[in-house]
Amino acid sequence: MTMREKIEDAAARYPDQRSAIMPALLIAQKEHGHLPGPVLEEVADILGVERIWVYELATFYTLFHTEPVGMFHLQLCDNVSCMLCGSEALLTHLEMALGIKKGDTTPDRLFTLSTVECLGACEMAPVMQVGDDYHGDLDPGRIDAILERLRAEAGQAIGADLAAASPGE
Ligand code: FES
C-alpha cells in the first residue's frame, strides 16, 4: 500500500477529514522518518484540508518531527513531577553519556535527545519515552542500561541490513 492509500484508508474512518490529520501524520512519519514541508503539503493535499491545519498539528505535538531524528529518539520529561524526581540530573547524565546537548543528534545518527512536557506517566517519574516505549523510575544506572540495549539493537539492525545487502556471502 502506498502512503496515499494508507492515509485515504485511515481517513475513511472519520466523518470529517480534519479529524484524520493526526493519524495521517503518523502514517507519513512512519513512511518518511520525519515530516518535512513537502510531506506536510502532500498530507494536506491527500486529505483535502488546509495546509496550515496540518502544519499546526505537526509543529505542536512532540510526537511529530519536522526535522530528521536519530534511530532512537530519547524524550526525557522535564515537567514538574519528573523535575522533582531528578530529571535535570538525568538530562546532564544523558548529555554526558551521548556527548551531545539537548536537541541534538549523535554524529552516528543513533540518538536524538529532547526534553518534553508531561508524558502522562507521572506515577513512575522520572520518565523517558523512546519510540513507543516508556521507561520510568529512571536513575543513571537504568539510563546506561537502556543506552546499552539500544546500541545492541542498532548493531543487530545494521548487521541484518548488511547481511540482506550481500546475500550469499
Ligand atoms: S511530569 Fe513527567 S510524566 Fe508527568
For the chain, give every residue range classified as CATH 1.10.10.1590. Answer: 3-60
Question: Chunked in runs of 10, what are the mean pLDDT values of the chain (169 residues)?
Answer: 95 95 96 94 97 96 89 95 97 98 94 94 97 94 97 82 66
Q: 3-60 adopts what CATH topology? A: Arc Repressor Mutant, subunit A (1.10.10)
* pLDDT for the residue numbered 164: 72
For the chain, give every residue range classified as CATH 3.40.30.10. Answer: 72-165
Task: Give domain 72-165's CATH superfamily.
Answer: Glutaredoxin (3.40.30.10)
Integer CA distances (angstroms), 47 to 19, 36, 82, 117, in order: 10, 17, 38, 29
Which of 76, 82, 117, 130 for mutating ligand 1's site (highest number of atoms within 8 Å of CB)?
Answer: 82
Please give the number of the atom of ligand 1 that sits closest to the Cα of 81: 1
Q: Which residues contact 140 (CB under 8 A, 6 or more apart)?
A: 89, 90, 93
* pLDDT for the residue numbered 167: 59
Binding site membership of 119 for ligand 1 (Cβ less than 6 Å): yes
* pLDDT for the residue numbered 33: 87
Binding site membership of 82 for ligand 1 (Cβ less than 6 Å): yes
Instruction: Reduce the DSSP state of residue 113 to 3 states and report it.
Output: strand
Provide the whole-model pTM: 0.79
Binding site membership of 97 for ligand 1 (Cβ less than 6 Å): no
* pLDDT for the residue numbered 160: 72
